[in-house]
Amino acid sequence: MTIAIYPGSFDPIHYGHIDIATRAAKIFDTLIWAVYDRPLKNLLFSVEERLDFMKQAARDYSNIKVMPYHGLTVEFARSQNATVMVRGLRVTYDFEVEYQTALANRQLAEDIDTVCLMTSLKYAFVSSSTLKEIAFLGGAISEIVPPYVEAAVKKRLVALGDGSSDKVSLVSLRE
Ligand code: ADP
């Protein structure tokens, strides 16, 4: 039985993430969709909110477990007996970063392999930072995120008020 982990910040999830998680769930016996609680970037949503979005997205998949984690991803993977780390690839830049991260992780944990799934073409340009930027500027994000995420993003922007993009500085996926 192969347990895989799909880690990330997921602030918030979008259809590109859901596509990778649900495809990975068809390949592996169990997929642990893991949200890193406090990454080194500014966040729009708390870990509880991000987990809640992921749970809603995974509700029809009995072999997807949504969990938070803290600290080294490989240590969390080991604690869950996961032997595979799933990552999504969009553009060639993603490959360079994932390649480097996979080598670093293998140095830390030889027993864990990274498996990268290529994005579906329609999500190739979707990222959490792009969707936040579009929303901050008043654009529609309904094609990029599920309705419950869209509603939460809109609500958060209203709560932040004018100049919300200054209060939550936008970061690119790899910053
Ligand atoms: P990070 O892990 O760098 O904080 P995210 O949490 O946004 O970034 O993404 C988690 C994982 O999902 C990464 O492997 C990332 O490459 C992948 N991913 C992000 N957006 C997409 C997309 N549109 N299509 C496929 N994979 C994606």
- pLDDT at 126 > cutoff 70: yes
For the chain, the structural domain boundaries read 3-123
Given 9, 90, 127, 132, the catalytic residue: 90
- pLDDT at 102 > cutoff 90: yes
Helix axes 147-160, 128-136, angle to 10 degrees: 50
The hierarchical CATH code for the domain 3-123 is 3.40.50.620
Spatial distance between the Cα atoms of 31 and 47, rounded to a whole number of angstroms: 19
Q: Say what the pLDDT of residue 172 is.
A: 39
- 17 labelled catalytic: yes
Q: Say what the pLDDT of residue 41 is.
A: 73
85 confidence band (pLDDT: 50, 70, 90): very high
- Looking at residues 39-63, what average pLDDT do you find? 93
Helix axes 147-160, 47-57, angle to 10 degrees: 160
Which tens digits make up the pLDDT trace of 5-20? 999 999 999 999 999 9
CA of 158 to the centre of ligand 1 (A): 26
CA of 30 to the centre of ligand 1 (A): 19
List the beta strands (DSSP E) in the chain: 3-8, 30-36, 64-69, 84-89, 113-118
- 41 labelled catalytic: yes
